[in-house]
């Protein structure tokens, strides 16, 4: 707009990269395929926005199985309905449990030979967690640490 008049000739097409305040991220799909193909992967917070997107991306790399863990039944039902309509040959295991339930987590690791864990059940909204530090530490730090004990070199 110049002097209240729109100059259409000065308009330009906007790309998503123009809106980001960072450079473009290039994903090495070949490396990811080597890393995730044929693996048994646990995704915590699987029914949430981040966990479910991780699963959508992982399916491309053909892991042998994905264990979806979440404590929210309705969102888990929704992601199951979505994934039931996607063509894949991956064993999807749906588990409604809390990551704070040690027995449930231990059972998952004893039942499935888990190679990789994506801990998307972590609390992510810093401003909320600043006023709830105990909960943030239990969920994001203490829960994440035990996973390392389960993941041993084969």
pTM: 0.76
pLDDT value of residue 154: 43
Count Cβ atoms within 10 A of the Cβ of residue 53 and give its class: 0-12 exposed, 13-18 middle, 19 or more buried.
Answer: exposed
* DSSP 3-state of 10: helix
Distance between CA atoms of residues 52 and 83, nearest Å: 10
Say how far residue 103 (Cα) sits from the centre of its chain.
Answer: 22
Query: Are the CB atoms for 35 and 118 separated by under 8 Å?
Result: no
Query: Are the CB atoms for 40 and 115 separated by under 8 Å?
Result: yes
pLDDT tens digits, one per residue of 60-73: 999 999 999 999 99
pLDDT value of residue 71: 93
Query: Are the CB atoms for 114 and 108 separated by under 8 Å?
Result: yes
**97: nearest Cα among 62, 73, 129:** 73
Which residue ranges of the chain lie beneath pLDDT 70? Answer: 1-2, 143-154
């Amino acid at each position: 707009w110049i002097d209240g008049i729109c100059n259409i000739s000065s308009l330009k097409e906007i790309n998503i990269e123009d809106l980001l305040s960072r450079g473009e991220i290039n994903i090495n799909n070949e490396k990811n395929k080597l890393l995730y193909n044929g693996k048994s992967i646990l995704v915590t917070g699987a029914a949430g926005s981040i966990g479910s997107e991780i699963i959508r991306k992982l399916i491309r790399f053909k892991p042998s199985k994905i264990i979806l863990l979440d404590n929210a039944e309705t969102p888990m039902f929704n992601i199951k309905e979505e994934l039931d309509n996607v063509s894949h040959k991956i064993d999807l295991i749906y588990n409604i449990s809390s990551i704070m339930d040690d027995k449930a987590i231990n059972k998952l690791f004893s039942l499935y030979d888990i190679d990789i864990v994506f801990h998307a059940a972590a609390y992510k909204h810093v401003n909320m967690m600043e006023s709830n530090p105990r909960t943030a530490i239990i969920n994001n730090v203490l829960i994440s640490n035990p996973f390392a004990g389960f993941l041993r070199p084969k």
